[in-house]
Structure 1
Amino acid sequence: MKIPFPETGNLKAVLFDIDGTLCDSDPLHYLSFQEMLQEVGFQGGVPITEEFFVENISGRENYHIGLALFPDWEQERRDKFLSDKETRFRSIASRLLKPVKGLDVLCNYIEKKGLRRAAVTNAPRVNAELMLSLLGLSSFFEEVIVGGECERAKPYPDPYQKALKHFGIEPHQAFVLEDSATGIRAAVAAGISTVGVATRNPEQTLMQAGATIIVHDFCDAQLWQALGTHPDKFLN
């Protein structure tokens, strides 16, 4: 059963994932992983496919990515590989990162309505802060919650439960924007209605994970119908 979208009169907060939700960063992560996995001879040096990336990497926390990709490696070696990968990603992101269409309009809506807002991510904090800075959103978010700093990262509900606790609100007083099945499962497990943002991952995958509605960007009519208003009212 899908969690109903909150009544706008009850809405107190909006919780955003970062990677793939605020910005279409998955292609940059995919490129970084593809290059570095080839360099270490992963699967015989055959480049990973986008399908492999979506199924095994996208949305997951680095610790679990390392275990899945390199079960025979020592943890120190996994950590070094993933640290180097994040350094490469940040270099690429600094040049190529772009916001998802309509992000500025949605942020205007949130500010004008006086809603609380947090970024809830499985990305390392240094990545999260860089992406928010590149998007001009460092001061927009009241809180940045990092999965790796919680007892359990997504797909467990802990990061979203921490956001609810931080704002002192109930699950029905917020909604989440997420682009991955991992993130959607985390939000749904916390009891929060979730908008699946289909920047890269298949709509069916997001629906099966429990998304209440699916949008392709923040101009999507379905989002604004759920909010009971029109985006033109919140243009700059």
Structure 2
Amino acid sequence: MFLVKNAYFYAMKHMQAVLFDLDGTLIDSEHFYYSNWKPILQKNFGLKIDFEDWLTFFAGHTLVRNVHFLREKWGIETTDEFMWKETRAAYARADMRTIGLMPHAKEILEDLQQAGKRIALVTSSYQTTVDTVLGHHGLLGFFEFFITRERVEQPKPDPEPYALAIKSMALPADEIVAIEDTSTGLKAAQGAGLSCIAVSRQQVERERLSAAECMVDNLAAVREILL
């Protein structure tokens, strides 16, 4: 399904470069993160959340922001260090290599590469996550570079990650398009002057992605727009 707000997107086939988000866009990781945060929050703080809560309040944000949000919304006093230690241990036990790709992820990367488009990744995840998950699926070679959490001072929704990607591409912003699945990423991309294709099936996210120039359900639809 296409929700196109601007005829400009009919010119997407002329874009020279594509910047992909990672979590929820190329990899189906939100259930993984939710299933690991849920028992930590319940065991340590008595907070019970369901998957819709995860999507509504936590998905697309950094650990630091989520720790602040726990304090702000529920009065939970914890630290970045504690949640980092707990979540990293949980991720290791669960094995991030079990995270699957989003439908059509490999195909769109193959087709964009074949079409001569430049491809890079802009994510709030760390390089270790990128290496583990995309490495397991054999996709690292598709990307010209990776803008990860440790490379920026201010992560999404700040535009810094995308501004750095534009600088690394050495292309005008109007020749680059971002692919995002959350309002956090959308705000970052548009703040850096980029057009953004929003791709999500989650209703709670789709409602927050209304500012995107174009909204689609899946990566096959993104491919149709770009190629």
In the superposition, the TM-score normalised over structure 2's length comes to 0.86
Moved more, 9-18 or 88-97: 88-97
The one-letter code sitting in structure 2 at the alignment partner of 1:14 is V
The one-letter code sitting in structure 2 at the alignment partner of 1:61 is T
CA RMSD of aligned residues (A): 2.3
- Assess, with a 3 A threshold, how the Cα gap between structure 1 residues 134 and 91 changes in structure 2: closer, same or farther: farther
Gaps of at least 5 residues in structure 2 are: none
**Paired residues of 1:2 and 1:211 also in contact (CA < 8 A):** no
**Paired residues of 2:181 and 2:205 also in contact (CA < 8 A):** no
Show CA shifts across 1:28-49 (max 9, x none): 11111111111112xxx24112
In 2, Cα distance between equivalents of 1:90 and 1:141:
25
**Paired residues of 2:108 and 2:223 also in contact (CA < 8 A):** no
> Are 1:128 and 2:149 counterparts?
no
**Paired residues of 1:188 and 1:194 also in contact (CA < 8 A):** yes
Moved more, 158-167 or 134-143: 134-143
CA shift at 1:14, angstroms? 0.6
> Are 1:34 and 2:38 counterparts?
yes
CA shift at 1:4, angstroms? 3.7
**Paired residues of 1:20 and 1:199 also in contact (CA < 8 A):** no
Aligned match of 1:55:
56
- Assess, with a 3 A threshold, how the Cα gap between structure 1 residues 86 and 195 changes in structure 2: closer, same or farther: farther
Matches of residues 156-235 of structure 1 in structure 2 within 5 Å?
156-200=158-202, 201-207=204-210, 210-220=211-221, 223-227=222-226, 229=227
Moved more, 64-73 or 192-201: 64-73
The one-letter code sitting in structure 2 at the alignment partner of 1:121 is T
Aligned length: 219
Aligned match of 1:12:
16
Gaps of at least 5 residues in structure 1 are: 230-236
In 2, Cα distance between equivalents of 1:95 and 1:88:
13
In 2, Cα distance between equivalents of 1:187 and 1:96:
29
Moved more, 190-199 or 90-99: 90-99
- Assess, with a 3 A threshold, how the Cα gap between structure 1 residues 161 and 148 changes in structure 2: closer, same or farther: same
The one-letter code sitting in structure 2 at the alignment partner of 1:53 is W
**Paired residues of 1:66 and 1:82 also in contact (CA < 8 A):** no
**Paired residues of 2:63 and 2:84 also in contact (CA < 8 A):** yes
- Assess, with a 3 A threshold, how the Cα gap between structure 1 residues 87 and 128 changes in structure 2: closer, same or farther: farther
**Paired residues of 1:24 and 1:199 also in contact (CA < 8 A):** no
Moved more, 104-113 or 154-163: 104-113
- Assess, with a 3 A threshold, how the Cα gap between structure 1 residues 139 and 39 changes in structure 2: closer, same or farther: same
* Secondary structure in structure 2 of the residue aligned to 1:15: strand
